[in-house]
Amino acid sequence: MNPVITVPSTMKALVAYGKDDYRFEPSFRTPVCGPDDIIIKTEACGVCASDLKCLHGAAMFWGDENQAPWVKAPFIPGHEFLGTIVQVGGNVHEFAVGDRVTADQIVPCESCRFCKRGQYWMCQPHNILGFQTENNGGMAEYVRYPKTSVIHQVPHAMKMEDAVLIEPYACSKHAVDRAQIGCEDIVVISGAGPLGLGMITYARMKNPKKLVVLDLIDSRLDKAKEFGADIVLNPNKQDVHQIILDMTEGYGCDIYIEATGHPSSVTQGLNIIRKLGRFVEFSVFGAPTTVDWSIIGDRKELDILGSHLSPYCFPFVIENIASGKLKTSGVVTRQFPIEQWEEAFEYASGKHGDFKVVITFE
C-alpha cells in the first residue's frame, strides 16, 4: 500500500507558448495521475542546449518551409530531470511512492516497427518529454510519467549534482558506443561542454591510443584534461589540422565525434579524419550545415553515423556515476530556482563560462 501524499492542484512551471514566448506560471495546473501513470515531485532539471535552441525558434522544433513543426505548444520544457514519486496509478506495481527516479527522454509507443524491434529510441511517433503538451517536462514542480515511460531508479545517496547528469551522460554514452572505439584508435572529440565531458570520461574507459579534445574555451579544455583527454587543442589558437596530421603520420584521426552543434566543427572533422574513418554526429544544430559530400564518398569513403538519445544506457551510467568511474566533479556550475529561469537560460548558453546549469525545486 502506497502512502497518501497530498499534491496541490497548481504548481510553479515554465510554459512555452511559442518560440521566444516562454512564461513563468506561478499557478499552472498540476498533472493528474491516471491509473497507469506516475507523478513525481521534481528535484532538479538541467538546461540543455536543445532547450535554448527551441526557445529561440530553431526550425527542427518549430518548422519552416521544408519541415513541419515538431513541438506541440503549450508545453513545459526540460528533459534532464529527476524527482521523487508522490503518486502512482492503481495499475503501477514496479515503482512506489518515495522512489527516486529518472527516465529516458522518449515515451515510446510500444507498437510501431521500431518499438517492436527493441529500437524504442527511434519510435515513429517520437513523443519526447519536455516538448509536447501531453508530455510535459521537468521545468515544473511536478511531472507525469505516462504508462510507457522508460523509468529508472536513482540511488537516494547520489548527490543531486551527480544525479541530474544521468540523462545527458546517457546520451554521451550512446554517442561513444556508436563510435566503436578500439585501443589502437586516435579519437577526436570536438566540444567539451557538459555532453562532451560525458563523452570524454566514458571514452577514457575505452582506452583509445590517444584521446584528443577540441574546444574554443580554455577552461573547458582544462576540464577535458581532468576528465581523461590525452591532448587538448584550441582551434582558435592552434592549427588543429596540421597537429592531427603530424600525430598520425599524415593520415588523420580514426574517429571524430562532433559535439558542438556548430557547422565549422563538421567541416573541421571531415578535413582531419582519415580515409575509411568513422564520423559520429551527435549535435542538435540551430541552422543547416553545408559540406562537400564528395569528401564523404569519393575522397575518403567515410562511415557517417548519427547518435540520438540514450537507448539502454541509463543503468550503466547510474552505476558508474555512483561508483565514481564516470567523472562528474565541477560539471554542475550554477543552480537557479524556477522563478529565475531567464537567468538560468542565459548562463546555460556558456557565454559566462558555465558547464551545466540546473533549475532546482524545494
Domain boundaries along the sequence of the chain: 10-165+331-360, 174-306
Asked if residue 225 lies in contact with residue 233, where contact means CB atoms within 8 angstroms, the answer is no
Portion of the chain with pLDDT greater than 70, in percent? 99
Q: Which of 274, 25, 62 is CA-nearest to residue 140?
A: 25
Report the amino acid identity of residue 107. V
Dig out the grid coordinates for 187 from the structure: 579519437
What does the alpha-carbon distance between residue 110 and residue 281 come to, in Å, rounded to a whole number? Answer: 27
- Predicted pLDDT at 2: 65
| Residue entry with cell 529500437 | 119
What does the alpha-carbon distance between residue 155 and residue 319 come to, in Å, rounded to a whole number? Answer: 9
Pairing relation of β-strands 231-233 and 210-214? Answer: parallel
Assess whether pLDDT exceeds 90 at residue 362: no
Pairing relation of β-strands 142-145 and 186-190? Answer: unpaired
- Predicted pLDDT at 256: 98
Read off the pLDDT of residues 182-234 as tens digits, 9 standing for 90 and up: 999 999 999 999 999 999 999 999 999 999 999 999 999 999 999 999 999 99
* Count of Cβ atoms closer than 10 Å to residue 350 Cβ: 15
**Considering only the top CATH level, what class is 174-306?**
alpha beta
- Predicted pLDDT at 323: 98
State the fold for domain 10-165+331-360.
Quinone Oxidoreductase; Chain A, domain 1 (3.90.180)
* Count of Cβ atoms closer than 10 Å to residue 56 Cβ: 14
- Predicted pLDDT at 288: 82
Is residue 344 left, alpha or beta, with left meaning phi > 0 and alpha meaning psi from -120 to 50? alpha
- What average pLDDT score do residues 10-14 get? 98
Q: Is the dihedral of CA 188, 191, 197, 202 positive or negative?
A: negative
H helix runs in 227-262, sequence order: 240-247
Give the list of residues 6+ apart from residue 249 with CB closer than 8 angstroms, or none: none
- Predicted pLDDT at 139: 98
- What average pLDDT score do residues 71-100 get? 97
Count of H-run helices and E-run strands, the chain = 12, 15
- Predicted pLDDT at 357: 98
Secondary structure (3-state) at 263: helix
Return mean pLDDT, the chain: 96
Pairing relation of β-strands 253-258 and 186-190? Answer: parallel
Read off the pLDDT of residues 45-60 as tens digits, 9 standing for 90 and up: 999 999 999 999 988 8
Q: Which of 324, 283, 129, 311 is CA-nearest to residue 193?
A: 283
- Predicted pLDDT at 58: 87
Torsion of CA 247, 252, 258, 259, to 10 degrees: 0
Give the list of residues 6+ apart from residue 7 with CB closer than 8 angstroms, or none: 30, 39, 41, 86, 87, 142
Q: Which of 47, 130, 132, 102 is CA-nearest to residue 337?
A: 47
Q: In whole angstroms, how far apart are CA 352 and each of 57, 136, 219, 220, 355? A: 22, 29, 11, 12, 9
Task: Please tell me the pTM assigned to this model.
Answer: 0.96
